[in-house]
Amino acid sequence: MENIAIQKANELSSDARRAVEQVLGRALEHDEEVSIMAFSAHEAPTGEARQALARQLEDRIARTAERVRDVSTEEQEAAIDEAVNHVRSQQK
């Protein structure tokens, strides 16, 4: 069972497009993509647990930024595009 769906707005059925536009409260542009994620809800952490998770996330972001420090923006964008295209090809 899939938990994530990504589809181009111009490929949505008219009913699906209307539903997405109603949820967003605006019209979709022809070249936009729509992502839908479904997951089980849970209570957000609070207090010290929340602060610890925030620190872990900040540390992870800093480590990732350090790894790509010498990589050009164009190379980073190309890597992201390649990864997105790979994921999309696996979903079809």
pLDDT on residue 88: 83
Give the separation between CA 92 and CA 87, rounded to whole angstroms.
9
pLDDT tens string 41-92: 889 999 999 999 999 999 999 999 999 999 999 999 999 999 999 988 877 6
| pLDDT for 34 beyond 90 | yes
Measure the CA–CA gap between 7 and 11, rounded to whole angstroms.
7
Tokens of 54: 């925030």
Evaluate whether 8 touches 33 at the Cβ level (below 8 Å): yes
The residues near 9 (Cβ < 8 Å, ≥ 6 apart) are 17, 20, 28, 29, 30, 31, 32, 33, 34
pTM of the model: 0.48
What does the pLDDT read at residue 89?
83
